Amino acid sequence: MTETEIVVFAKALSRVLGWVYFLCWSGSFYPQPISNFRRKSTLGLAIDFPTLNVLGFSCYTISTAAFLYSPTIRSQYAYRHPSNAETTVRFNDFLFAGHGAILCVIIYSQFFPAVWGFKVGSRQKASRAALGIFWGSILGILIVALLAQTWGKDGGYDPEGWAWIDVIYALGYVKLITVVVKYMPQVWVNYKRKSTVGWSIYPMLLDFAGGWLSLAQLVIDSSLQADWTGITGNPVKFGLSNISIVFDVIFILQHYVLYRHPPKNIDEGEEDWGSEQERLLSPRIH
């Protein structure tokens, strides 16, 4: 194959990988709400998970939309990455984010009996730890926006200082934070109950496949541009793939190895994560 043919093939492969991982990740949202609907219950699912997911995917939707459709953000990105002015964010990233945000809201709504009539746990609100991250992240975004507006040159439109692209990056980092934190309550719930009943494994399997495909597409895109700042310039996509894969492996081990045979009588165990975090974070009194 000639160099031109290799480039054409690589571009085609990138597009295919993008849509396949989009299908994997998008499909991963459906097993859990379907399982909840069939069971008429959210027992076994930590409410902190959908709470943080709503925040994360809302931020991710705004972030990808800005990189795709905002002339200001695109020009500021080009200024900060002069070797390659084209962002590696793709339309399928935006479509995935928006679709995910809608499904996250649906899953979160299933914790309200008045809406769905499902059986829910004794704790129908997120833990203090999760709520602290939720509102702290929003406060952080507002602070960055204020810095761009007041300290940035030309009201944040000059990319040399604090600029609006920093607000978009902040949204992306909030998404990363929620990915890191949102899985922890569920890992704890599974550990406490010694069971994954109520927590669908299928989203994790699809997420695992999508993570590797997304990472492969990012590497191909950066190599085609002969500029690996395509990865550093899109840290959210790179981080999402790696962090998600780590937690996917943990859940796969819990489901297929550690808790393959759950006890007959399973406690809900959901309310323990928040109190456990507070106990670990608070000073010990001897």
What does the pLDDT look like over 148-177, one tens digit per residue? Answer: 988 878 888 887 889 899 999 999 889 888
Would you state the pLDDT for residue 32?
Answer: 95
- Tell me the average pLDDT across 37-55: 93
Least confident of 97-106, 133-142, 175-184, 211-220: 211-220
Q: Residue 149: inside a domain, yes or no?
A: yes
**Assigned domain for 285 exists:** no
Mean pLDDT of 121-146: 90
- Confidence label for 281 from pLDDT (cuts 50, 70 and 90): very low
Higher pLDDT, residue 283 or 146: 146
Task: Using the predicted structure, report yes or no on whether residue 280 has a pLDDT greater than 50.
Answer: no
Which one has a higher pLDDT value, 265 or 147? 147
What tens digit of pLDDT does each residue of 56-106 get?
Answer: 999 999 999 999 999 999 888 888 877 666 777 888 789 889 999 999 999
For the chain, the domain total comes to 1
- Confidence class of residue 132 from pLDDT cuts 50, 70 and 90? very high
* 3-class secondary structure, 93: helix
* Residue 210: pLDDT over 60: yes
Could you tell me if residue 69 is inside a domain?
A: yes
The model's pLDDT over 228-261, given as tens digits with 9 standing for 90+, comes to 665 665 666 666 667 788 899 999 999 999 998 8
Please give the mean pLDDT across all residues of the chain: 83
Looking at the chain, how many residues does it have? Answer: 286
For residue 157, what are the domain limits? 3-245+252-279
pLDDT at res. 277: 45
What is the C-alpha to C-alpha distance for residues 235 and 85, in angstroms, rounded to an integer? 16
Predicted local confidence at residue 282, as pLDDT? 42
Answer whether residue 117 is part of any domain. yes
User: Is pLDDT larger for residue 238 or for residue 202?
Assistant: 202
The verdict on residue 213 lying in a domain is: yes
Q: Express as a percent the part of the chain with pLDDT over 90.
A: 42
284 within domain boundaries: no
C-alpha 9 chain-centroid distance? 30
With bands split at pLDDT 50, 70 and 90, how would you rate the model's confidence at 283?
very low
Domain-located, residue 286: no
